[in-house]
Chain A
Amino acid sequence: RMSILEYNGAAIIAMAGKDCVAIAADTRLGVQAQTVACDFRKVFKMNDRLFVGLGGLATDVQTVDQLLKFRQNLYELREERQMSPKVFSNVLSNILYEKRFGPYFIEPIVAGLDENNKPFLSGMDLIGAPVYTDDFVVTGTATGNMYGMCETLYKPDMEPEELFETLSQALLASVDRDALSGWGAVVHIITKDGVTSRELKARQD
């Protein structure tokens, strides 16, 4: 019997480029070995400049997405301004730690552009311990593969087009050697001028 965090399967990577960020995820939903869907969304747009990738138990992925939207909506109504990625990351960390002794089984990553259009990346464990990086963050069932691919392929200050290529290759190669992730992938490139989303043509096995 495997860990609860590996029950549904996921592979999500976010990378920083020159004044842009990109986040990509597989689209498989499985019940242990059985694949049940190949169009399951794990990356959620919070606003034009803020995305969150939620890897782990699928029910918690959807619940936490709803909770985050709830918190973000209230914040924007009260404060009459948008939530910056750093603040959002902290809210998420707070939500997770509140459930310290009965946690949500997700390990999220946050990718966005701050007020000055500079890239922001963060990742955290299921109880909200954050890590902030300036290159890439990964989460899911193929993290070993993803770390290897990113470390090899990544270079700083890539333009959006090159960032897209690098991120896509890193994700595809990682999921192909992991039974629990894959079955399709989606990539979002975020710049100050907007978001471009593309579906990748991936191995359906």
Chain B
Amino acid sequence: SAYSFSLTTFSRTGKLLQIEYALNAVANGRTSLGIAAKDGVVIATDKKLASSLVDVGNVSKVEAVGEAAGGGSGMVYSGVGPDYRVLVRNARKSAQTYYRQYREPKPISQLVKSTASLMQEYTQSGGVRPFGVSLLMAGLDADGTPKLFQVDPSGAYFGWKATAIGKNYLNAKAFLEKRYQEDMELEDAVHTALLTLREGFEGEMTAHNIEVGVVSKTDGKFRVLTPEQVQDYLDEAT
């Protein structure tokens, strides 16, 4: 950008208002959540669309990141969709570059650090605004442990056992806090994730207006569940 000065500057009280406003954009976004089980991670989001005329197959919110580089990382967001796509692109290229240099998949913790670092740059670089999204990144770390991370517009990141972001996140987190157990298995985690999502859902939740992604310790690959697979889980819940 041609600007040499940052548009994100401190207020008298020490706040960076642009970041606060970005967090507002996130809080108004569709709910997303994730749970790290002992043998895998699940992330899910509300995909409700503006009208029934929208071709739902073209909308993708849960995205795999490290697949082609032998890894199993994925991410989802709450907030401004187009900003998210830039971050997905960046994360994918970062995972591939790592693989070229090291011939090993980029561990999720390293991916999180790179992405967070990029988001921070946009709060200090000339002429740009922060990304209007919070991300939930899920994957297996270098030692094979399933991990879930949240990355905020400021570039701050947190590791979570389970969390929710976007609209209604407080209720969703309270619900998760009650249901989360240390040695939860992935199957249970998926069920709990769906239950949590349904709690704050406006209208009927179906396999076509949510998106779920899963990475399991057994095969180490991140998969976005097909509507049929999601439907199976929904049927089991009733």
Contact = CB atoms under 8 A, between A and B. Distances in A.
A45 B142 CA distance: 24
A153 B104 CA distance: 35
A91 B110 contact: no
A78 B94 CA distance: 15
Contacts of B110: 78-79
A94 interface: yes
B146 interface: no
**Interface magnitude class on chain B:** 10 to 19
B103 interface: yes
A87 B102 contact: yes
A94 B100 contact: yes
Interface residues of A, number: 9
B142 A81 contact: yes
B101 interface: yes
B93 interface: no
A79 B142 CA distance: 8
Interface string B100-132: 111110010010010000000000000000000
A90 interface: yes
A87 B100 CA distance: 10
B48 to A, nearest CB: 39
Nearest to A95: B101
Nearest to B114: A78
A118 interface: no
A41 interface: no
Interface in B140-198: 142-143
A204 B226 CA distance: 72
A84 B102 CA distance: 10
Interface string A80-113: 0100101100110010000000000000000000
B88 to A, nearest CB: 22
B142 A90 contact: no
Given A81-B142, A90-B101, 18 more contacts: A78-B110, A78-B113, A79-B107, A79-B110, A79-B142, A81-B143, A84-B104, A86-B103, A86-B104, A87-B102, A87-B103, A87-B104, A90-B102, A90-B103, A91-B101, A91-B102, A94-B100, A94-B101
